[in-house]
Amino acid sequence: MPTRTSTAVSGPPVPAPAPVDLPEPRRLGPLARLAPEPMKVVLNWGRRYSLWVFNFGLACCAIEFIAASMARHDFIRLGVIPFAPGPRQADLMVVSGTVTDKMAPAVKRLYEQMPEPKYVISFGACSNCGGPYWDSYAVTKGVDQIIPVDVYVPGCPPRPEALLQGILKLQEKIARESLGERYGNSGPGAAPPVAGRPSAAALRSGLVTPPGREDTR
């Protein structure tokens, strides 16, 4: 009985289908420019609405700060919690009043005790540039001579509404900031850190090495 033999038909190879890119997700609303980094949005949202304030009241501007925290203006509704227990629990330092050369080391020391990320509002003309005492031999010509300042609030003294506006400006700054750009990275091609801010390597310096990573040689 004859057997049927099948022969394979040879032809040109069939090309593999080209990969199809997924469509770009739709980004709507005012937060469209922040959508590629949702984690940054969440972290910055938490920071901007949970600012523990360390008030450094040095002169009459401190009375205006206290007025801003009372019921009439009530900056707690903006997510700002006044009177932190100390600098180690604070996120925001409000320097309100005349900074003298004798007080400047204490301001700098307490600022350095605050954890990162930390922010500073200079409240009033005396804190901004020395105010009416700018030509005094004992007055520091602005708190930014010793610590970095994020927002300046002018006035002598400024009203509580001016402090509320300064807080809103700071919150806008926090909402669009990136901690990588703020402190920089230690790798190649990293952006340089902002002037007056510690680098990422400086933030890690002095930390205790975890067990198992010591050099055993």
As given in the structure block, the two tokens for residue 33 are: 């420019």
For residue 46, give the nearest of 183, 177, 161 by alpha carbon: 177
129 belongs to an annotated ligand binding site: no
Looking at the DSSP bridge assignments, the partners of residue 55 are: 94
CA distance 105 to 54: 16
Answer whether 41's CB lies under 8 Å from 34's CB: yes
CA distance 33 to 70: 36
User: Is the Cα dihedral 36, 80, 103, 138 positive or negative?
Assistant: positive
Specify the amino acid at residue 103. Answer: M
Kindly calculate the radius of gyration of the chain based on its CA atoms and give it in whole angstroms.
28
Show binding-site residues for [4Fe-4S] cluster. Answer: 60-61, 126, 156
